[in-house]
Structure 1
């Protein structure tokens, strides 16, 4: 005769987690231990709960032990009822979807403050142009897929007239010393200190990416990545390099951490999602506590990818500068897909800039336009409400699909001709008409940066048209 029948209420009182173990424990105890008294049943269940590993070989109680030892999926994390403060710059130029994404992000439990730049448009997780300060947590998708995507501008001592009169020479060197597209590699691999980093040896996931990183070093991705010759005009007589105001030949590049960064982003985003289940509308904003092993590992991997992206740019510039027999006069560079430890209202926070340029007081950066529109060399003003950030470009006006449907080859050819630009590669999805007016974007952020120079593209190389690699 059954003395005691186990139920869910009893299991909860003992301390069993509300999980599939309930069904298993009830079934095992009912079928095989029904002859025991209530106290005896509870004693057995408590013993298994206290040390499930000790019962793994037991043919009956081992079934309960196995369920107890299985990882329990964390409960969905609730968002804040009241969002933390945020600011939107150039709101009239930003689609509602991007603003809504920021409004979702500033309701994360770890959110401290947010902002959206005037080039903002909808992305995954954070909008492109979104900035989010978090409390001791890093969001892989808040950094983005192309970790450390950055700008690099080299100002050279070449005569401006040589570019205007002999653009074929500049075009040929771009053909010789750049490679674009998904998976492309150089046959002859270059040595670089970034490939000697300890992360490639000490982080298991990163070890397997070394060969990819070594092969792709010094190459560029697809989508909006480019390397271009143009004319830089320095307008600030008090510029940081002591250059005489005027026109200079310059080399500008835009790309990131290639397959290395994409693989890191994909892996740690999934780790974050497994550890940090969020409501469906913000699931891409899953975060990692920086005190956790996963958080520390991603932070090291992210910084490695950022330094790798920088090394790619430096190698591209080195090759082209040497090929042209030029001397470097000045350089400006900055990440715009990254996370930094910074101070906000007296406290250290993690500032994520997904498609946003660092603009701390006195910090230099480059904000490009399009393949025919000017870019700008800027000095940050350190505006607190923007989290010391500015736009990272003009920002998309059309999606890639819409641009390919709306813009013709002839229209692209005409706008290139009208602006005196030679294009190698590129596609309709990157046509100037697919982007916002850079001058409108700059006018919306005069409180964030001051312009100290400009860059006008003349010979542009991009990958063939198509979706971005990363």
Structure 2
């Protein structure tokens, strides 16, 4: 059940599903709750943590404003999953190592992109009507080279097993440089022309309408990116396993976006930064960390959370803190049963399980938001 933060003058109510607020998070929640365009209340998910603009895990709504700085730079970022119904048992470590090596060869990770002109774009994404010539040029230059690339940070490709012995492919990535360019442009427009301490654009203005439209194109590219990566990964896995993924098992959710939805009998623009929107009964994904379980979950449609839930475990250490506190040897010990690139252990300490919250506590805190359906245990992980 959520708790209500003590009210403050000029602030909308703040409902928090996290058992404890990390340092600085309450200040960020109160800042967004004090903005004149926010309606109803602000909802904080259990994986809440401080970030630029507003905290990751923040959900709020407006009547007719879009807030570029409340969506993050990786517009449309999300998680996808596919299930492989195995009949001959899980693959051994040797097979997993070979598969991970093949995935790393076929899918650029980190800062890597496709060389030259890149890949052909899906026809629907070849020439989107973006709002400025500069953004159109950025799309033409970046989209073909960034399509089917994973990116860095907490992005991943992961092979998991469920309790029934099936294998799952999980994928986490977003809109890459395309989304970053769009987010940066409209953030600058909002800072110049917007309303409020975290500047918002009225959607009835040309600037606000352009922001919404361009953001939706970024989300479309993010989905296309996941689909393009999945096509390559599924080919590798189907060849290695001798079985195709179950097409009815596919789940895809995004967690940095704004969407028009009906809440309380009226249409609102719901902003989610690091939060997933799930209708009652809709399946979603809540990943843990590099060495801990992830979950397929079902939304409960809780209206007080704007039908939202956490997008993962949530960081408890910044990347700098993780590098300072976690030794590569400690990471190797924690991941001794997981196949990964041990040669990158010094860099991957930023993504160590100790840098994240306990996913079981996160699920306990949001028991009225989602119902866990399947626990997925990691077998192999490719990080950006």
- The question of a shared fold, defined as TM-score above 0.5 by the shorter chain, is answered with yes
Match of 2:374 among 443, 453, 456: 453
Preserved CA contact (<8 Å) 2:97 2:339? no
Instruction: Give structure 1 stretches of 5+ with no counterpart.
Output: 1-79, 234-245, 464-470
- Partner Cα distance (1:380, 1:197) in 2: 35
Higher helix share: 1
2:17 corresponds to 1:99: no
Residue 305 (structure 2) aligns with: 386
Cα 1:314–1:170 shift into 2, 3 Å: same
Residue 137 (structure 2) aligns with: 208
- Partner Cα distance (1:252, 1:448) in 2: 22
Match of 2:85 among 157, 162, 178: 157
2:179 corresponds to 1:261: yes
CA RMSD of superposed structures (Å): 1.9
- Which of the pair has the greater relative contact order for Cα pairs under 8 Å at 6+ separation? 2
Residue 84 (structure 1) aligns with: 12
CA drift at 1:197: 4.5
Residue 350 (structure 2) aligns with: 429
- Partner Cα distance (1:381, 1:429) in 2: 33
Residue 37 (structure 1) aligns with: none
- Partner Cα distance (2:85, 2:38) in 1: 46
Residue 251 (structure 1) aligns with: 169
Preserved CA contact (<8 Å) 2:128 2:217? no
CA drift at 1:384: 1.0
CA drift at 1:120: 0.2
2:331 corresponds to 1:412: yes
Cα 1:110–1:377 shift into 2, 3 Å: same
2:204 corresponds to 1:291: yes
2:163 corresponds to 1:223: no
Match of 1:334 among 249, 253, 256: 253
- Partner Cα distance (1:423, 1:453) in 2: 27
Q: How many residues align?
A: 364
Determine helix, strand or coil for the equivalent of 2:160. Answer: strand
TM-score, structure 2 as length reference: 0.90
CA deviation profile, 1:209-239 (whole Å, cap 9, x unmatched): 1221111101011111111112134xxxxxx
From the CA coordinates, give the structure whose radius of gyration is larger.
1
- Partner Cα distance (1:421, 1:443) in 2: 29
CA deviation profile, 1:325-382 (whole Å, cap 9, x unmatched): 3422111110000011011211111111100111221222100000110011111101
Match of 1:324 among 237, 240, 251: 237
Residue 191 (structure 2) aligns with: 273
CA deviation profile, 1:375-428 (whole Å, cap 9, x unmatched): 1111110101111111111100101101000000100111110x4343464521
Determine helix, strand or coil for the equivalent of 1:230. Answer: strand
Residue 225 (structure 2) aligns with: 312
- Partner Cα distance (1:360, 1:106) in 2: 24
Moved beyond 4 Å, runs of 4+:
none
Residue 28 (structure 1) aligns with: none
CA drift at 1:276: 2.0
Cα 1:81–1:273 shift into 2, 3 Å: farther
TM-score, structure 1 as length reference: 0.74
Determine helix, strand or coil for the equivalent of 1:313. Answer: helix
Residue 5 (structure 2) aligns with: none
Determine helix, strand or coil for the equivalent of 1:252. Answer: strand
Please list, as runs of the form range in 1=range in 2, the aligned pairs for 1:97-176 lying within 5 A after superposition: 97-112=24-39, 113-159=41-87, 161-165=89-93, 166-176=95-105
Determine helix, strand or coil for the equivalent of 1:199. Answer: coil
